[in-house]
């Protein structure tokens, strides 16, 4: 899976700076504070915030791998600007339907457009919440429109990222993973 | 409170429903909701209908929420109607851009119904 498409969209969503903003941005260097960007607690806090506020559930981080499922759902939101990369949400199809059901109050029997839309929005909010926790990143990093992939037997592979956080979470027996991949940082 | 005709602009139909639910929980009743999936659709709705309140996402394909808001104000499509941006973008810079474009309120996703109530009800009451 290539992330270039979502990254281009994220760069396009970074607002065009005026002279003063450009100057401010040039002084922002995330590379010096990469330890803060890669701090795993930011991701855990973001996941808890989004699931608590939008679904009304508390999630806990788990170490066990995601259960094997025939069909899975992956949402990707690209980062562009001072940091390039992506936020990736992944779960089994059944788990995605349960997340969408909690969001909407509807019941689902398959991965339809509403489920994909809901999972895309969850990923969008996770990406926004995560970048909002890192000083210097919030205003200088754009988000792409979510892309959602469904299917069987596929893998996400990113070559030599600068850093990668891959956390698994669960609530009420519903397991999912959230990954932050950074492949470029200024 | 009389009928509140509200335009919700978001490319996600799920988010439009969640915002509508939050408005009802906030006590906006009776509530009439008009929906648009992009800024362009939002402008079309405003050309055909009068509304009392507009809530708009920012990151949307084809026309984003800030450009939508600038067009609403420059074309005088909803004079005096409060606009609240609901978005994942939370930096001061984004809030400033939204206010400059003509927004009266700003809600960051994720949000609670209580936050929607606090930020939207005073605007509707004052309008």
Taking the Cβ of residue A13 and every Cβ of chain B, the question of whether any pair is shorter than 8 Å is answered with yes
pLDDT of residue A1: 47
Beta bridge partners of B31: B4
Domain ranges in chain A are 4-9+38-185
Q: Is A121 near chain B, with CB under 8 Å?
A: yes
Q: How many CB pairs under 8 A join A and B?
A: 66
pLDDT band for position A23 (50/70/90)? very low
Lowest mean pLDDT among A7-21, A60-74, B57-71, B99-113: A7-21
SS3 content of chain A, % helix, strand, coil (to 5): 40, 30, 35
> In a 3-state reduction of DSSP, which class is residue B44?
helix
Mutate to test the interface with B, among A8, A15, A142 (most CBs of B within 10 A): A15
Q: How far is CA A99 from CA A70, A74, A115, in A?
A: 18, 13, 8
Q: pLDDT band for position A67 (50/70/90)?
A: confident
Compare all CA atoms of chain B with the CA of A138 and give the residue at the minimum distance: B91
Token code pair at residue A164: 């990668």
To the nearest whole Å, the CA of A148 is away from the closest chain B CA by 13
Mean pLDDT, chain B, whole residue set: 93
Q: Three-class SS of residue B106?
A: strand
Closest listed residue to residue A116, CA positions, set B72, B104, B14, B64: B14
Tokens 């498409």: give the residue.
A5
The predicted pLDDT at position B105 comes to 95
Nearest CA in chain A to B60: A145
Bridging pattern class, strands B83-87 and B53-56? parallel
Q: Let me know: does A50 contact A126? Beta carbons within 8 Å.
A: yes
Among chain B residues, CA nearest to A15 = B94
CB atoms within 10 A of CB A27: 7
What is the share, in percent, of chain A residues with pLDDT greater than 70?
A: 82
ipTM: 0.88
Convert the pLDDT of each residue in A106-162 to its tens digit: 999 999 999 999 999 999 999 999 999 987 888 889 999 999 999 988 887 777 788
Give the separation between CA B115 and CA A106, rounded to whole angstroms.
23
Task: State the pLDDT at residue A2.
Answer: 46
Q: Is A44 in the B-facing interface, judged by CB distances under 8 Å?
A: no
CB-based burial label for A159 (10 Å; 0-12, 13-18, 19+): exposed
Give the tokens for residue A41. Answer: 């607690």
pLDDT band at B28, cuts 50/70/90?
A: confident
Cβ distance B89 to A143 less than 8 Å, yes or no, reads: yes
Q: Which range, of A81-90, A96-105, A158-167, B61-70, averages the lowest pLDDT?
A: A158-167
CB contact under 8 A, A15 and B93: yes
- B61 and A105: CB-CB below 8 Å? no
Cβ contact (<8 Å) for A13 and B60? no
Those of residues 61-120 in A touching chain B at CB distance below 8 A are: 100, 103-105, 113-114, 117-118, 120
Interface of B to A at Cβ within 8 Å reads: 11-15, 17-18, 21, 59-61, 64, 87-94, 97, 108-112
- What is the C-alpha end-to-end distance of chain A, expressed in Å? 24
Are B12 and A145 in contact (CB < 8 Å)?
no
Asked if residue B94 lies in contact with residue B58, where contact means CB atoms within 8 angstroms, the answer is yes
Which of A50, A117, A145 comes nearest B13 by C-beta? A117
- Per-residue pLDDT, A6: 58
Closest CA of chain B from A153, distance in Å = 27
* Superfamily of domain A4-9+38-185 in the CATH hierarchy: CheC-like (3.40.1550.10)
Give me the residue spans of the domains in chain B.
4-122
Interchain CB distance below 8 Å, A53 and B110: yes
Question: Tell me: the pLDDT tens digits for B1-17?
Answer: 678 999 999 999 999 99
* B100 burial via Cβ count (<10 Å: 0-12, 13-18, 19+): exposed
Closest CA to A102 of A172, A42, A161: A172
Answer whether residue B71 shows pLDDT above 90. yes
Q: What is the pLDDT of residue B29?
A: 81
Question: Which residues fall within 8 angstroms of residue A2, CB to CB, at 6 or more apart?
Answer: none
pLDDT value of residue A14 = 58
Domain B4-122 falls in which CATH fold? Rossmann fold (3.40.50)
Percentage of chain B beyond pLDDT 70 is: 99
Res. B77: pLDDT tops 60: yes
Contact A53 B15 (CB under 8 A): no
């Amino acid at each position: 899976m290539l992330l270039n498409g979502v990254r281009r969209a994220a760069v396009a969503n970074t607002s065009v700076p005026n002279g003063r903003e450009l100057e401010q941005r040039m002084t922002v260097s995330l590379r010096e504070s990469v330890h803060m960007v890669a701090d795993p607690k930011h991701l855990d806090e973001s996941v808890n915030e989004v699931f608590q506020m939008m679904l009304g559930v508390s999630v806990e981080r788990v170490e066990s791998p995601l259960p094997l499922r025939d069909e899975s759902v992956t949402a990707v939101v690209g980062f562009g600007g001072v940091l390039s990369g992506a936020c990736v949400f992944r779960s089994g199809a059944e788990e995605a339907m349960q997340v969408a059901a909690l969001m909407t109050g509807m019941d689902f029997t398959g991965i339809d457009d509403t489920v994909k839309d809901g999972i895309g929005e969850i990923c969008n909010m996770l990406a926004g919440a995560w970048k909002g926790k890192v000083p210097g990143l919030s205003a200088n990093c754009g988000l792409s429109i979510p892309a959602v992939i469904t299917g069987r037997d596929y893998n996400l592979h990113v070559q030599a990222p600068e850093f990668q956080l891959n956390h698994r979470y669960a609530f009420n027996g519903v397991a999912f993973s959230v990954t932050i991949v950074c492949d470029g940082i200024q | 409170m009389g009928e509140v005709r509200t335009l919700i602009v978001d490319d996600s139909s799920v988010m439009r429903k969640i915002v509508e639910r939050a408005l009802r929980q906030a006590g906006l009743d009776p509530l009439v909701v008009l929906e648009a999936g992009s800024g362009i659709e939002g402008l079309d709705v405003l050309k055909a209908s009068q509304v009392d309140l507009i809530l708009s996402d920012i990151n949307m394909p084809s026309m984003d929420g800030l450009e939508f808001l600038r067009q609403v104000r420059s074309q005088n499509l909803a004079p005096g109607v409060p606009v609240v941006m609901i978005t994942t973008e939370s930096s001061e810079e984004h809030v400033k851009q939204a206010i400059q474009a003509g927004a009266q309120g700003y809600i960051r996703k994720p949000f609670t119904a209580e936050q929607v109530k606090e930020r939207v009800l005073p605007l509707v009451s004052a309008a």
